[in-house]
Amino acid sequence: MNASKLQSELKKKAYLRGKSFRFARFEPSFPDDHTFCVFCWARISIWDEDLREGYFEPESQSWICDVCTEEFKQPFEWSIDRTNDSAWKRLMQHNAIDSTIL
């Protein structure tokens, strides 16, 4: 991402600076319920063609997809709770196994 676009995002979404996000599976409140990543507008829902999980910040009720979380976590100074992220846990377990081999 270029510097001017990053500065624009930091300014437009200043309310997200320093927040804590947690990995979560989207749970609809009603049958057609869905939300969007606040950066790339990827749709998050229970529908097959959509993302079904992401990172959630409860105060602002903001959802962010995993790609945007990685891209923006440092500039926005987020803390990320991956406790419920099974893919992240598998990766960490795999890395721990690999590091014991070395």
Structural domain count of the chain? 1
Domain that holds residue 33: 3-101
For the segment 10-31, what is each residue's pLDDT rounded down to a tens digit? 999 999 999 999 999 999 999 8
d(CA 52, CA 24): 9
Q: Tell me the pLDDT band of 89, cut-offs 50, 70 and 90.
A: low
Q: How many CB atoms lie within 10 A of CB 75?
A: 13
DSSP E strands in 1-102: the ranges are: 20-25, 35-36, 43-44, 53-57, 62-64, 79-81
What would the pLDDT profile of 45-88 be if each residue is shown by its tens digit?
999 999 999 999 999 999 999 999 999 999 999 999 988 776 65
- CA dihedral (52, 58, 62, 68) in degrees, to 10, reads -70
**Cβ-based neighbour number of residue 46 at 10 Å:** 14
pTM equals 0.78
pLDDT of residue 1: 73
From CA 78, how far away is CA 15, in angstroms rounded? 12
